[in-house]
Structure 1
Amino acid sequence: MKLKRYLATLAIGLSTTTVIAQDIPRITIDSTQPGATIHRDIYGQFAEHLGRGIYEGVWVGKDSEIENINGFRTDVIEALRDINVPLVRWPGGCFADEYRWRDGIGPRDQRPVRVNTHWGGVEEDNAFGTHEFFELVELIGAEAYVNGNLGTGNPREMAEWLEYMTGTSNSEVVEERRKNGRDEPWKIAYFGVGNEAWGCGGHMRPAYYADLYNHFATFLKTPRGSEPKYVASGGHTTDTSWTDTLSKNVQRQMDGISFHYYTLPTGDWDDKGESTGFAESEWFATLRQTLRIDEFIRLNKKVLDKNDPEKKLGFYVDEWGTWYNPEEGRDPGFLYQQNTLRDAVVAASNFNVFHEHADRVHMTNIAQMVNVLQAMILTDKEKMVLTPTYHVYDLYQVFQDATALPFEIENPSSYRMGDQSLPGISASAARGKDGQVYLSLVNLDPNRPQTVAVDVKGLEVTAASGRLITASTMDAHNTFSAPEQIVPGKYNAEVQGSGALQLEMPAKSVLVVALKD
């Protein structure tokens, strides 16, 4: 059965529901007790000089036969605009701590060629640099998150780059920017002082990095009113020592601490699992692994609540997403992987966790935007396809800057495999900027549909409308020859008689609805 026909049949069936079984999950949302703001930057993106993430994925050059806007491919720009991307992180990632910013300014035919030692050992011609990055974010209506080079750079280099980007004086550095075609300064939303200092950024100890942060940050200055939020390189997995050390010992400007976590189906970096053709055991393992992000955030929040009770510091998950084995026949250093319904369920489940911790989690960046890891978009020369993860970002737009609402789930379902179990449903609720109450639901079970009853304190709900993502197989995905195997379908439900609203969810699905009175 084709997906669109299936969704239409589902929507028709919803209106006939009249009886609420006693054993189904029931979600009660309290619309009278608003919580934290779900910051739009939770929906941030990440673009690193890695594989075809920037070159071909975003930048093709003005002379390309691929339709472009001043060198940026038109189809990708329009797709990113459509999901209201709020923030883009650049130039890395591991690449950031070897990046020399002066390589990427001035006439492109005079920029030096370097070797990208982190990702494939390929030549980097620096055609995409500072000016191109800011033009990209301006084209898609996003803000900029720039990651500075602490690993192989020095304080003067980092300070001059910041001055180049934000300065308003007639200094030599600012005049150089003007000579290169940009008179007005750019606005930087976030500035990262290094990346993964525990790993590819220098294999440092937390205390050593904290000292370096204080050293570098002393010299990071912008005109008054142009200050970015400064981000320190934090930890990963269950290690809270970075959060503890930084929140205690950084004396200079610091607005947030970063955290990285990738979802590996197997948990084994040497054999991570495949992006397609996987068994249900890997579906289950992937979801079990991705839901651990809740544990990691809670552990770090506990440290922050002790060291920063006034909640001045944010906790930024600025790299996250699925990571599978390299696809056969592709350069393993390019990290290109297919993107399936499983990735959509992973993305939505993570969003629901981030919403729950919106008091600290003010920004996240999925890895990565185009052609790398859990991408929004895949390209092949002139061809482009939107992934299931892209469609989740589209559905969840309504949560940008929404106000989280508390909720409880009575009689929660579970998804079991052997002696292990996961929650059957992941959920989140919020009041959007438009005043409507929105509910997101994820059915993690790939086999069993679920019915969920919904009550809202302070609102007499009579109907729900929104969009649903699902498919017939766990590894369903869009391809260049079949780009609409997974697309969101319309979803509607109405209260019948005197009963409460019931939402019917197919197996392995993502749903976002507006609740209407």
Structure 2
Amino acid sequence: MKKKYQYIRTGILGLLLSTQAIQAQNTVTFKPDAPTQTINRNIYGHFAEHLGNCIYGGFYVGDTSHIPNTNGVRKDVIAALRKMKIPNLRWPGGCFADTYHWKDGIGPKDKRPTIVNTWWGNVTENNSFGTHDFLNMCEELGAEPYLSGNVGSGTVQELADWVQYTNFGGKSPMSDLRRQNGRDEPWKVRFWGIGNEAWGCGGNMRPEYYVDLYRKFTTFMQGHIFRIASGANSSDYNWTEVLMKNIPGSLLDGIALHHYSVIDWNRKGDAVDFTEEQYFTTMKQALFMDTLVRKHAAIMDKYDPAKKTALVVDEWGGWYNVEGGTNPGFLFQQNTMRDAMVAGSTLNIFNNHSDRVRMANLAQAINVLQSVILTKGDIMVLTPTYYVMEMYSVHQDATLIPIDIHSNDYTFGNQKLSAVSASASKDKNGVTHISLVNIDAHKAQEITLDTRSESYKSISGSVLTSAKLQDYNSFTKPDNIKPVDFKGATLKKNTISVKLPPFSVVVLELK
């Protein structure tokens, strides 16, 4: 009898171990027969507001600076952003956009009026960086400009004039003024934001009121342009409903969405000295982007089943307390492996929802919030977020490969999140790329990828990780975190086995 109980106990133990083994298996399965779409390169866009040292001291140092520059824009910044394949850049805000009057920033620099940036630090700006400077810089970057128009304090005529100034090639008052200021050919700016955060700093409007303003402004914006409405603040689904219901599709090309990964707006926490609980909460907010996209897209589908109107997530990223000793209005924060986790996870969400999400802008490009570049004098530092964007650039304009994913949990206390996220695509040369993120702060994750009917002969990859979640690239140690070759993947017929280190981002290339 004793031996019989031993057999039963051994059997139960084996069953438990087997169940644990099954639970411990992450799987990613290709769905090659599912409908596919292009991952729009503009999902990988960036944001440059007149805020802190993003423009002045970040992008722009002036043409008399000892720092190598092209018409005042840092050459090292231009080279880094081109290498990252920046597709578009949003300017001049942000909250600043609805106090910015574009005619203050054209003509001879010594004759431009000064302004006070009441939103960000109450600093006085001399308008030395204006429309020509920004649009010419975008040409240097190979990036499309995205201009945010002033609806909050501006006029219909002012915005209509800006469109004509930048886009009209014939003879008109505004094109003549452009030529007088040294630019013969128009820039042909395609992307236009009609105000920013109309629900908040853009005017504290009700959605019904903003709809009427939007319809009025866009009626007088002539030409082949892509008009983006000021959209919802995170989970304000009513805002999207009111806009979709009341703006004709002929006037609406995109609706914006803003969402930041914030622990608590009153207690944002330190950018570097954070706890695991704070990390977990940040990632919970980052992964909430998937819910936001699904719910806003479902509302848009009711009125636009053909998905002609894009969801434009033109502000996203991590937001923490500013670094000690810096101006609190400048929003300068360091960038750690936590930010790499936010970036990789969010971009996977955008890729997988690229039928509706066709543009996005990380906030912000340089020296502000979750930036990809930090500058100090003539030193330039590339952040972990920069390297994620560079690694993921292989997805730009590639064809999405839909996937099914089953992930283990990353647990903290009695809370849990999916540890693994992924997205996959095939580029124009037939090369497949798979991006994988493991947000677990402690455990490596073993993943089995089933490519189904797709078979490959070779596999390679890169990984971004570090010893601690709190690690970052500093001005004294700028290369502390960089991608390296990834050796943790094996290929056997249609199956790939991957072991992801804790808090890591991996991009695989399959041929």
| TM-score interval (norm. to shorter) | over 0.9
The AA in structure 1 aligned to 2:309 is L
**Where do 1:383-462 residues align within 5 Å?**
383-410=379-406, 412-462=407-457
Distance apart, 1:462 and its partner CA: 4.7
Whether the aligned pair in 2 keeps the contact of 1:234 and 1:243 (CA below 8 Å) is yes
User: Residue deviations 1:40-83, cap 9 Å, x none?
Assistant: 00000100000000011011111101111121111111100101
Secondary structure in 2 matching 1:468: strand
| Structure 2 segments unaligned to the other structure (5+ residues) | 1-20
Amino acid at match of 2:221: L
Give deviations 1:86-125, integer Å, cap 9, x for gaps. Answer: 0000010100000010000000011000000000000011
Is 2:336 the counterpart of 1:343? no
2:479 equivalent to 1:478: no
Q: What amino acid maps onto 1:211 in structure 2?
A: D
Listed one character per residue, the Cα deviations across residues 410-446 of structure 1 (whole Å, up to 9, x for unaligned) are 4x21100111100010111111232111111100101
Cα displacement string for residues 159-212 of structure 1 (whole angstroms, at most 9, x for unaligned residues): 011110111221121111001010001121210110000000000000000001
Secondary structure of 1:120's partner? coil
CA contact (8 A) 2:48 2:365 kept: yes
Measured against aligned partners, the alpha-carbon deviations of 1:11-61 in whole angstroms (never above 9, x if no partner) come to xxxxxxxxxx75421211133445121100000010000000001101111
Distance (whole Å) between structure 2 residues aligned to residue 43 and residue 210 of structure 1: 28
- 1:13 — aligned with what? none
User: Which is bigger in relative contact order (C-alpha 8 A, separation at least 6)?
Assistant: 1
Q: Does structure 2 conserve the Cα–Cα contact (< 8 Å) formed by 1:36 and 1:359?
A: yes
Shift of 1:497: 6.9
Instruction: Tell me how far apart the structure 2 counterparts of residues 140 and 182 of structure 1 sit (CA, whole Å).
Output: 18
Q: Any conservation in 2 of the 1:322–1:343 contact (CA below 8 Å)?
A: yes
Whether contact under 8 Å (2:456, 2:493) holds in the other structure is no
Q: Quote the offset at 1:499 in angstroms.
A: 9.0
User: Residue 301 of structure 1: which of 297, 304, 308 is its match?
Assistant: 297
Q: CA RMSD in A?
A: 1.4
Q: CA deviation at 1:495?
A: 4.0
Which residue of 2 is the match for residue 113 of structure 1?
A: 114
Q: Distance in 1 between matches of 2:478 and 2:233?
A: 35
1: distance between equivalents of 2:110 and 2:200?
34
CA, structure 1 residues 101+496, in 2 after alignment: closer, same or farther (shift >3 Å)? closer
Partner of 2:236: 239
Task: Tell me how many residue pairs correspond in the alignment.
Answer: 489
Counterparts of 1:336 and 1:92, CA distance in 2: 16
Cα gap change, 1:26 to 1:254, in 2 (>3 Å):
same
Question: Matches of 2:492 and 2:215 in 1, distance apart?
Answer: 64
For normalisation by structure 1, the TM-score amounts to 0.92
- State the secondary structure of the residue aligned to 1:421: strand
Paired amino acid for 1:510 = V
| Structure 2 residue 484 is matched with structure 1 residue 489 | yes
User: In structure 1, what residue type is equivalent to 2:114?
Assistant: V
Q: Please, which moves more after superposition, 39-48 or 430-439?
A: 430-439
The aligned residue for residue 177 of structure 1 is 178
Instruction: Specify which of 226, 247, 267 is matched with residue 229 of structure 1.
Output: 226
Cα distance in 2 between the residues matched to 1:476 and 1:466 = 22
Cα distance between partner residues in 2 of 1:236 and 1:217: 22
Gaps of 5+ in 1: 1-20
Q: Could you tell me which residue of structure 1 aligns to residue 166 of structure 2? A: 165
Q: 2:193 is paired with a residue of what secondary structure?
A: strand
CA distance in 2, matches of 1:245, 1:76: 40
Equivalents in 1 of 2:491, 2:400: separation in Å?
A: 28
1:100-139 pair list within 5 angstroms: 100-139=101-140
8 Å CA contact 1:462–1:501 kept in 2: the answer is no
Q: Identity of counterpart residues, as a percentage?
A: 47
User: Alpha-carbon deviation of 1:494?
Assistant: 6.0
The CA deviation string for residues 107-144 of structure 1, in whole angstroms up to 9 with x for no partner, is: 00110000000000000110000000011110110001
* TM-score normalized by the length of structure 2: 0.93
1:453 deviates by: 1.2
Q: CA separation in 2, counterparts of 1:332 and 1:277?
A: 18
Which residue is 1:3 aligned to?
A: none
Deviation of 1:496 after TM superposition, in Å, equals 6.9
What is the identity, as a one-letter code, of the residue corresponding to 1:480? F
**Runs of 4+ displaced beyond 6 Å:** 496-499
SS of the residue corresponding to residue 502 of structure 1 reads strand
CA contact (8 A) 1:493 1:501 kept: no
Contact 1:105/1:130, CA 8 A, preserved across alignment: yes
1:322 is aligned to 2:322: no
The answer for the alignment partner of 1:93 in structure 2 is 94
